[in-house]
Amino acid sequence: MTETNILERVQAIVRDVLQQPDLLITRASRADAIQGWDSLAHVDIIWNVEHEFLVKFALGQLQDLKDVGELVDLLEQKLAAKR
């Protein structure tokens, strides 16, 4: 799975959770800059990402994420480890 595919799937999840079908997510997107992406939405987004990609995150892995790009990178690592 490519980085682009992962980003597209994460974008679909964020759009669904935030109910913003036209929202564009890039690697530089940050939760604090997106309307509606509060702490409750964040939990919902992470839960959906875990289920979409069949991975589990440790709390420590999520605390240091600064933007969507770091989430994509973490997903790439998790998916590579599963192979």
Phi-psi map region of 52: left, alpha, beta (phi>0 left; psi -120 to 50 alpha):
alpha
**Type of residue at 28:** A
Q: For 3-82, CATH number?
A: 1.10.1200.10
> How high is the pLDDT of residue 64?
86
Whether the predicted pLDDT of 63 surpasses 90: no
Q: For residue 83, what pLDDT band results from cuts at 50, 70 and 90?
A: confident
* DSSP symbols for the chain: --HHHHHHHHHHHHHHHHT-TT----TT--GGGSTT--HHHHHHHHHHHHHHHT----HHHHHT--SHHHHHHHHHHHHHHH-
- Alpha-carbon distance of 35 to 59, in angstroms, equals 24
pTM: predicted TM-score of the whole model, two decimal places: 0.93
